[in-house]
Amino acid sequence: AIGLRRDGMGMFVTGHNNEFIDLVIHDLSLDLAPGPTGGQGSHGAYVTTGRNNLWDRVTFYNIGQNGIQFFGGDGSGNIVRNSVFYNWGLSVPGSAIDSSQQSTNNWIHNNIFRNGLIGVALNGSGHLIYNNTIFQTGNGIIVNAEGMTIKNNLLVSNPNHIVLNFSATRSNNLC
């Protein structure tokens, strides 16, 4: 199920095997702090129990909190690729892509992230983060669980390029 929300969410995803291709999601809840949903701002996409979804060539900009939030249920096996994220966390601190501990095995690749507090912050295991360009964020990538792979990313002009709160496999990242 996919729903457009009146409370500042770009989309609310609870279904599986959806494809979001060639979209622009922008200007969500920029004046909300905190948001109407009890302390959270807006998200470009809020995904609960949404597995095996694809975001391809999607542009997210001017977002109140997170670009994509995988939270709550099982937001696993999703792919975010060839997309652009900029100017997120404008009302409430957030990440371009953020996940809860129930989310596993998401692939984040070939994306551009710029001008936000955190580029990618993932919990859960098995995530693959590769071939991304992350610049002008406070923290490029934050690893909050074991078992992630971070490779071939370009991280520029971030005070903290990769923050490892748990161990992760890293290779060929240019910081």
Question: Judging by DSSP bridges, how do beta strands 11-13 and 2-3 pair with one another?
Answer: antiparallel
pLDDT in tens, 30-49: 655 444 444 456 889 988 88
How far is the C-alpha of 92 from the C-alpha of 107, rounded, in Å? Answer: 25
Question: Encoding tokens for residue 151?
Answer: 């490779």
Question: Higher confidence at residue 35 or residue 23?
Answer: 23
In contact, 89 and 65? CB cutoff 8 Å = yes
Indicate whether 57 pLDDT > 50.
yes
Burial class (CB within 10 angstroms; exposed 0-12, middle 13-18, buried 19+) of 1:
exposed
Residue 131 pLDDT level (bands cut at 50, 70, 90): very high
Cβ neighbours of residue 38 closer than 8 Å, sequence gap 6 or more: none
pLDDT of residue 86: 97
DSSP secondary structure of the chain: -EE--SSS-SEEE--SS-EEES-EEEEESTT-SS-TTTS---EEEEESS--S-EEES-EEEEESSEEEEE-SS---S-EEES-EEEEE-SSS--EEEEE-TT--S-EEES-EEEEEEEEEEE-SS--EEES-EEEEEEEEEEE-SSSEEEES-EEES-SEEEEESS-EEEES-B-
